[in-house]
């Protein structure tokens, strides 16, 4: 791009893809630096390849090129993620940061598109009002958000209608609607599309949940259930989570970026560009330095720089650039514990078909709706279902302990049960605390000589109790569905990266206790923005992506002077 650059966007995932496109369409000259490729539609036509995308981690970070280390506490020496450390440096895509390249994690996400609840924005106040301040675990740094649900509701609506989300509303302007989520916060209108096609297993779950007194509703999903704004309706191909969509039914910011490049002339994407430093002086951003595709150092200047990488990488870039006057960068790390529960249904339900979101959710015990309990669990979770999208290799890695991984008995079990699988999971948020954080590893570096990020995180007794509380409910539902066999993940699993990691550059109004303001601008460096899940002061139990989209639209409006 010749001439003056108005803004640099680093990373073209959920947040960066929206912001770069919005700024370019408003007439600003934008250069986007993306660590991965600038994909073309033809790259996705032959995507039905579990070896390529799952086993070989084709479009997600590898620990050899993008190392991350982990330790349970500061007394233990960190090691490169042990659950992703093998000869090739590959890991389960659910347990490492999301994909790189235009679209980022939105290329391969499952599409769950939840709004946060009203209470999720005031978690600290809600817990204290309900249980008292003494109930909070020692060392917890839980706070309220500096914005509320009403602030984001117009942006949630914009996400659902501009990008396209399928679902069924349960509360329109405080009027409860049959078939939707009766516990959701009020919304201004329904979803633009009906829910995606229900799987065969969903009927069994819905009937069982209702018999037990729960209120199931279809999972809101950023996948087209009908043709919508040029996107084709889902074909139920069964290769959804972990895979790009070959017909474009699934929302991805890749499509926004590609269209903005072609239609505006204001957005230049520079693929295979690895930013290694944010340049700044006297409290003002100057630009960035990056390695180009040939490994040469390039300095790029602009009055606005938007860090829109994953929460972990945003924190690493801030730290390596010396932007951390108040010591808050990298603090308050939060992750989800999924509490996986998998079982075998009595009849075939063809669990290899459709999206993993083609089932229903129960929200009866989500967030502040958690019932009184002796375990001391302070914040609840939805119970989500995984009714389709079971690929064979991924399934094999999660078989029950008694089933061998090869031989006659393995073949018999798979032939009898693969088409009858069903999964439930919850999403328990670690409460932000002083003991969970990220910083720079003093020893491990990437191939370019840059320090790796070091994660310090461990599951607590509180985390385990929260998972077990909901595991009891899953067992009750499983029995009601007629399951004879099921198996459960550990309440303290081996992974400590969950693709929902958040909080590493917390938003707030006080520059002493937060990193960015509600629009994502870094307090100590004017013109520098750090956006995405790292902004979250707390991590609710819902998937974070729709809220990341909503915050990105809000930041775009701020940058364009619309707020």
Convert the pLDDT of each residue in 360-415 to its tens digit: 999 999 999 999 999 999 999 999 999 999 999 999 988 999 999 999 999 999 99
1-10, 230-239, 262-271, 457-466: least confident range: 1-10
Residues shown for the chain: 563
- Quick: pLDDT tens for 455-469: 999 999 999 999 999
40-49, 186-195, 363-372: least confident range: 40-49
471 pLDDT higher than 80: yes
Mean pLDDT in the chain? Answer: 95
90 pLDDT higher than 80: no
- The helix/strand/coil state of 203 is helix
pLDDT value at residue 271 = 98
pLDDT range class, residue 88, cuts 50, 70, 90: low
256 pLDDT higher than 70: yes
- Averaged pLDDT, 285-311: 97
438 pLDDT higher than 90: yes
72, containing H or E segment = none
Q: Of all residues in the chain, what percent carry a pLDDT higher than 70?
A: 99
Give how far the C-alpha of residue 72 lies from the chain's centroid of Cα atoms, to the nearest Å: 22
Give how far the C-alpha of residue 287 lies from the chain's centroid of Cα atoms, to the nearest Å: 28
Count of beta carbons in the 10 Å neighbourhood of residue 508: 20
How far, in Å, CA of 69 to CA of 84, rounded? Answer: 10
Q: Of all residues in the chain, what percent carry a pLDDT higher than 90?
A: 91
> What are the residue ranges spanned by the domains of the chain?
7-559
pTM of the entire predicted model: 0.97
How far, in Å, CA of 359 to CA of 341, rounded? Answer: 15
- Averaged pLDDT, 120-144: 96
Q: What does 300-329 look like in DSSP terms, one character per residue? A: EE-S-EEE-S-HHHHHHHHHHTT--TTS-T
- For the chain, the distance separating the N- and C-terminal CA atoms, rounded to the nearest angstrom, is 29
341 bridge partner residues:
424, 488
Q: Give the tokens for residue 476.
A: 């009750």
Q: What is the CATH number of domain 7-559?
A: 3.50.50.60
> Which backbone phi and psi does 426 adopt, to 5 degrees?
-120, 175
Helix and strand numbers, DSSP H then E, in the chain: 11, 22
332 Cβ contact partners less than 8 Å away, ≥ 6 residues apart: 141, 432, 433, 436, 437, 503, 504, 506, 537
How far, in Å, CA of 277 to CA of 317, rounded? Answer: 6
How far, in Å, CA of 124 to CA of 105, rounded? Answer: 29
pLDDT range class, residue 91, cuts 50, 70, 90: confident
Q: Give the tokens for residue 241.
A: 């989570």
- Averaged pLDDT, 442-467: 97
pLDDT value at residue 397 = 87
pLDDT value at residue 89 = 63
pLDDT value at residue 355 = 93
How far, in Å, CA of 424 to CA of 201, rounded? Answer: 11
* 538 in Cβ contact with 143 (< 8 Å): yes
């Amino acid at each position: 791009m010749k001439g003056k650059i108005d803004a640099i966007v680093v990373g073209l995932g959920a947040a960066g893809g929206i912001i770069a496109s919005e700024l370019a369409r408003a007439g600003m000259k934008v250069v986007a630096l993306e660590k991965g490729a600038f994909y073309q539609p033809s790259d996705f036509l032959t995507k039905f390849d579990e070896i390529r995308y799952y086993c070989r981690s084709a479009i997600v970070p590898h620990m050899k090129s993008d190392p991350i280390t982990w330790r349970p506490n500061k007394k233990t020496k960190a090691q490169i993620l042990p659950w992703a450390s093998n000869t090739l440096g590959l890991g389960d895509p659910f347990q490492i940061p999301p994909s790189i390249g235009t679209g980022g994690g939105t290329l391969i996400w499952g599409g769950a598109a939840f709004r946060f609840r009203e209470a999720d924005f005031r978690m600290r106040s809600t817990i204290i009002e309900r249980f008292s301040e003494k109930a909070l675990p020692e060392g917890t740094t839980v706070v309220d958000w500096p914005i509320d649900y009403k602030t984001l509701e117009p942006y949630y609506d914009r996400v659902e209608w501009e990008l396209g989300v399928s679902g069924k509303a349960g509360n329109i302007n405080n009027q409860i609607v049959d078939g939707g989520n009766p516990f959701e916060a009020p919304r201004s209108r329904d979803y633009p599309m009906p829910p995606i096609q229900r799987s065969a297993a969903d009927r069994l779950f819905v009937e069982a949940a209702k018999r037990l007194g729960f209120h199931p509703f279809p999972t809101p999903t950023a996948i087209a259930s009908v043709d919508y704004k040029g996107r084709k309706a889902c074909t139920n191909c069964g290769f959804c989570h972990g895979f790009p969509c070959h017909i474009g039914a699934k929302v991805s910011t890749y499509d926004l970026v590609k269209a903005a490049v072609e239609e505006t002339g204001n957005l230049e994407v520079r693929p295979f560009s690895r930013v290694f430093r944010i340049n700044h002086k006297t409290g003002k951003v100057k630009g960035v330095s990056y390695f180009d595709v040939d490994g040469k150092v390039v300095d790029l200047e602009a009055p606005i720089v938007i860090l829109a990488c994953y929460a972990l990488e945003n924190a690493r870039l801030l730290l390596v650039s010396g932007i951390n006057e108040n010591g808050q960068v990298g603090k308050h790390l939060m992750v989800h514990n999924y509490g996986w529960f998998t079982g075998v249904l009595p009849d075939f339900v063809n669990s290899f078909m459709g999206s993993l979101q083609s089932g229903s959710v129960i929200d009866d015990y989500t967030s502040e709706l958690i019932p009184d309990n002796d375990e001391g669990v302070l914040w609840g979770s939805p119970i989500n279902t995984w009714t389709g999208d079971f690929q064979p290799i991924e399934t094999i890695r999660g078989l029950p302990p008694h089933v061998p991984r090869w031989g006659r008995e393995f073949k018999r079990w798979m032939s009898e049960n693969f088409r009858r699988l069903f999964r439930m999971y919850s999403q328990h948020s670690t409460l932000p605390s002083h003991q969970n954080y990220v910083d720079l590893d003093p020893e491990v570096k990437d191939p370019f000589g840059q320090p790796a990020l070091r994660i310090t995180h461990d599951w607590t007794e509180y985390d385990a109790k929260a998972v077990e509380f909901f595991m009891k409910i899953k067992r009750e539902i499983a029995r009601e569905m007629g399951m004879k066999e099921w198996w459960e993940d550990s309440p303290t699993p081996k992974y400590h990266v969950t693709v929902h990691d958040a909080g590493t550059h917390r938003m707030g109004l006080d520059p002493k206790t937060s990193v960015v303001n509600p629009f994502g601008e870094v307090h100590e460096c004017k013109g520098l923005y750090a956006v995405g899940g790292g902004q979250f002061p707390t991590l609710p139990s819902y998937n974070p992506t729709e809220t990341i989209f909503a915050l990105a639209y809000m930041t775009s409006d701020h940058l364009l002077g619309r707020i």
